[in-house]
Chain A
Amino acid sequence: MNMKIKESKLLKIGLLVILVICTQLLTKITDTQFYLTQLTMSAYYALLVIGLTVVMGYAGQISLGHAGFFAIGGYLSAALTTHNLIALQAHPLVKGLGSVGMLVSGQDLYGEQLLVFAPWAACILAVLTAAGIAFVLGIPVLKLKGHYLAMATLGFGIIIFRIGLASEYFGEADGISEVPGLTLLPALGPLGSLSVSGDFGLRVENYYVAWGLLCVGLWLLLNLIDSRVGRALRAIHGSEEAAEAIGVDTARFKLNVFVLSAVYAAIAGVFLTHYNGGIGPSEASVMKSVRYVALVAVGGMANIWGTLIMGVGLTFLSLRGVFGSYDDAVFGSILILVMLFAPDGILSLNVKALFISKRTTDGH
């Protein structure tokens, strides 16, 4: 039984990998490689959304603040790699960071000396900060239920948005731009270095980095939900009291998943920011959080594959500008329609069954 689940999981991920490769080859053959940019970005957003699926679909806890974690990751990584520390050079803390190799020095366009965080160090710090904030926030917030939980997480999202918009360090309304690439592998012999950046020549590499990351994230989550933790989460979703009664440490499980999903969001934020070369306050807006919730809902709440398909598909269409100025309206409508007619997601919608059940309820 267990072997079967494992095999089918591997098979599905294998199919996904093949699909990813085929898509890339297809764009090469048809000379439509410009699609790769949006596909890369969609993969990062999908990473956030599958993380949120575990919180919302499996543990049953709504979060309207995940854009906040995305923004914490992206903004911190961007700020640390662009703000010049040269004036603080003599500060013991800066010296200490420099001595462990977390800082890089260079020159800007005008020949000024630059001393900034190395992207890898900024990335780790950003993700750790997001995890820490999720942990501290999660302890009180996850005790709340229903409307209160929704409002509390929404409030957190708005605070992060406001901080990004109002503080000079995070670039106020302009956001942060000219973020350097995030080097994953140094140059080895004939192979060039591998880095996450918007460099035109690295488009194909970045596509594979994003989808590779997504596949790894997916693999980890699928294993998680098939494990003891996953069963505990589903028990919490069903009835928190019952789960508590059979010995599930509900508070701890909820908190752990919340932190995990925040880490997913922060990683997505960091990578996408380095890929785009910048981040703006709109990434932290409430509408983004709502959009992630919409994607989880349309994918079927407790359905990672469904969320993945819907997340990549809809985000890709949105990024391509298919919805035009009706972008937000489309996501709002999706939310309403899915929740009205298919609370278990579009993919679960069995049209025939829908009509039959309608008829039986009419007969009552």
Chain B
Amino acid sequence: MTSTLFLQYLFAGITYGFIYAIVAIGFNIIYNTTGIINFAQGEFVMLGGMISITLLQVVPLPVAIALAVLITMLLGALIEIVFIRWLDSPSVLRMIIITIGLSILIREVARHIWGESIRSLPYFVGNEITTITIGSVRISPQVFWVIGVCGVMVLGLSLFFKITPIGREMRACSSNRTAAILCGINTRNMVTLSFMLSAGIGALAGCVMSPITYTQYDSGTSLAVKGFTVAILGGLGNSMGAVAAGLLLGILEAYSVAVVPLAFQDAISITILLIILFVRPHGIFGSSAAARLKEF
């Protein structure tokens, strides 16, 4: 492998890595406040892409993206209010099945609205063949959009959770729900908010990645599996870990193309997932003692 090719793959890996990290952070936000894994997380990404593509026919690109994120956030809130909010301490098995059902339902609704065709947003800057040359490597400007937007989102979220009162209340919810209730925090609202937040970041990621990866009604499933892999790899609930793990998986996947056929690419990340689950279920950065206290 030449050094040019090496770098080229590296950038592809980083791009996908950030996308996986955003999906993983979406998992983490909901997991932290509710203790459940939202299997419909990948569908938020798909919805963001699809809605912005549709809106683009009437409004300019930035407005379309902003509206798409907003609509997906509202959908996230709606889903939480209709399907999850009123359940009284449901079992994990029940929540898994409900969120899986939701993911199917969202996918099917999307299929009936947008059909099975593959769509995409236009490139934000230039077009398919516009490239920026760094040294000997040629990179599409959209790659920088993905990396930039996702990076800003990660930073913004960590600031949000550290500084703002609402962010702190959400963190209080995740560390001890009962104590949070006793402090006067409305934990139910926090759960709704966490669904909105993870729907929002998923949708935004779905918009910026759409020109590169395209959007189809069923593109959410494999993203969800990979996002989950990354979330576990980085330690469930740990956002910075998710970024590191996302980059790791993205780069591994990018280089795996050189060794195994593209058709097996999904199998690679799933094999990694299985190995991690068997060997280090608390992730590479997590501690096993802390993991034992959590509920899966």
Interface residues of A (CB under 8 A from B): 60, 62, 64, 140-141, 143-148, 150-152, 154-156, 158-159, 162-163, 165-166, 286-287, 290, 293-294, 297, 325-326, 328-329, 331-336, 339-340, 343
Complexed CA–CA distance, A265 and B28 (Å): 34
Contact B83 A159 (CB under 8 A): no
Distance, CA A293 to CA B221, complexed state (A): 17
Chain A residues whose CB sits within 8 angstroms of the CB of B271 once the complex forms: 159
Chain B neighbourhood of A326, CB < 8 A: 108, 112
Tell me the complex Cα distance, A316–B295, Å.
39
Query: CB < 8 Å: which of B104, B267, B273 contacts A329?
Result: B104
Closest to A289 in B: B100
Docked Cα-Cα span, A60 to B96, in Å, equals 13
Neighbour of B270 across the interface among A62, A140, A155, A339, CB < 8 A: A155
Collect the chain B residues with CB atoms within 8 Å of residue A145's CB: 92, 296
> By the criterion CB–CB under 8 Å, are B261 and A166 in contact?
yes
Q: Which residues of chain B from 74 to 122 have a CB within 8 Å of any chain A CB?
A: 83, 87, 91-94, 96-98, 100-105, 107-109, 112
Q: Is the CB of B83 within 8 A of A336?
A: yes
Q: With A147-B296, A151-B228, A336-B83 known to touch, is A165 a contact of B97 (CB < 8 Å)?
A: no
A326 to B112, CA, bound (A): 9
- Chain A binding surface, main DSSP class: helix
Residues A146 and B98 in contact, CB atoms below 8 Å apart: no
Contact residues of B with A, CB < 8 Å? 36-37, 39, 83, 87, 91-94, 96-98, 100-105, 107-109, 112, 221-222, 225, 228, 232, 261, 263-264, 266-267, 270-271, 273-274, 277-278, 281, 295-296
A155/B102 contact (C-beta < 8 A), A148-B277, A166-B263 known: no
**A332: nearest residue on chain B (CB-CB)?**
B104
Contact sample, A vs B, 14 pairs, CB 8 Å cutoff: A140-B277, A150-B100, A156-B274, A159-B271, A162-B266, A166-B261, A328-B108, A331-B104, A332-B102, A332-B103, A332-B105, A334-B101, A336-B83, A336-B105
9 more contacts with CB within 8 A, not counting A146-B295, A329-B109, A339-B94, are A147-B296, A155-B274, A156-B274, A286-B221, A328-B104, A329-B105, A332-B108, A335-B104, A336-B98
- Chain B residues within 8 Å of A293, by CB: 97, 100
Is B277's CB under 8 angstroms from A144's CB? yes
CB contacts (< 8 Å) of A152 on chain B: these are: 273-274, 277
Residues on B with beta carbons closer than 8 Å to the beta carbon of A155: 225, 270, 273-274
Distance in angstroms between the alpha carbons of A159 and B264 in the assembled complex: 8
Chain B proximity of A340: nearest CB distance (Å): 7
Q: In the bound complex, how far is the Cα of B74 from the Cα of A82, in angstroms?
A: 53
User: Are B98 and A335 neighbours in the complex by a CB distance under 8 Å?
Assistant: yes
Known: A146-B92, A151-B277, A155-B274. A339 touches B263 (CB 8 A): no
| Interfacial chain A residues near B109, Cβ < 8 Å | 329
Given contacts A158-B225, A286-B221, A290-B100, contact A151 B273 (CB under 8 A): yes
A163 vs B232: C-alpha distance when bound (angstroms)? 24
Contact partners of B222 in chain A: CB under 8 A: 158
Query: How far does the alpha carbon of A340 sit from the alpha carbon of B104 in the complex, in Å?
Result: 16
A332 to B98 CA separation, bound complex (whole angstroms): 9
Shortest C-beta distance, B244 to chain A (Å), equals 20
> What are the nearest 3 A-B pairs in CB distance?
A332-B104, A335-B101, A166-B263
Would you call A336 and B102 a contact (CB within 8 A)? Answer: yes
Q: Is the CB of A163 within 8 A of B267?
A: yes
Contact in complex: B267, A159 (CB < 8 Å): yes
Q: Which of A140, A154, A156 has the most CB of B within 10 A?
A: A154
Docked complex Cα distance between A151 and B97 (Å): 12
Q: Is the CB of A146 within 8 A of B296?
A: yes
Residues of chain B within 8 A of A286, CB atoms compared: 221
Contact A159 B101 (CB under 8 A): no
Contacts of B101 in A (CB 8 A): 294, 332-336, 339
CA distance A154 to B229 in the complex (A): 12
B281 contact set on A, CB distance < 8 A: 144, 148
Measured between C-beta atoms, what is the minimum distance from A96 to chain B in Å?
Answer: 32
Q: Which residues of A contact B102 (CB under 8 A)?
A: 332, 336
A280 to chain B, nearest CB (A): 16
* B159 CB to nearest A CB, Å: 28
Hey, which chain A residues are within 8 Å of B277, CB to CB? Answer: 140-141, 144, 148, 151-152
Query: What's the nearest-Cβ distance from chain A to residue B56, in Å?
Result: 27
Q: Are B266 and A158 in contact (CB under 8 A)?
A: yes
Residue from the list A140, A150, A163, A290 in contact with B278, Cβ < 8 A: A140
The interface residues of chain A lying within 8 Å CB-to-CB of B94 are 339, 343
Q: B266 contacts which chain A residues (CB < 8 A)? A: 158, 162
Among candidates B37, B87, B92, residue contacting A340 with C-beta atoms closer than 8 Å:
B87
CB distance from B74 to the nearest CB of A (A): 19
Closest to A290 in B: B100
| Contact residues in B for A165 (Cβ distance below 8 Å) | 263
A148 to B229, CA, bound (A): 10
CB contacts (< 8 Å) of A60 on chain B: these are 93
Give Cα distance in the complex from A174 to B94, angstroms: 36
Name the B residues within 8 Å of A64 (CB-CB). Answer: 100
Query: Shortest Cβ distance from A339 into chain B, in angstroms?
Result: 5
Closest partner residue, chain B, to A287 (CB atom): B104
A141 proximity list for chain B (CB < 8 A) = 274, 277-278
Task: Please give me the residue from chain B that is nearest to A151 by CB atom.
Answer: B228
Residues of A within 8 A of B278 (CB): 140-141, 143
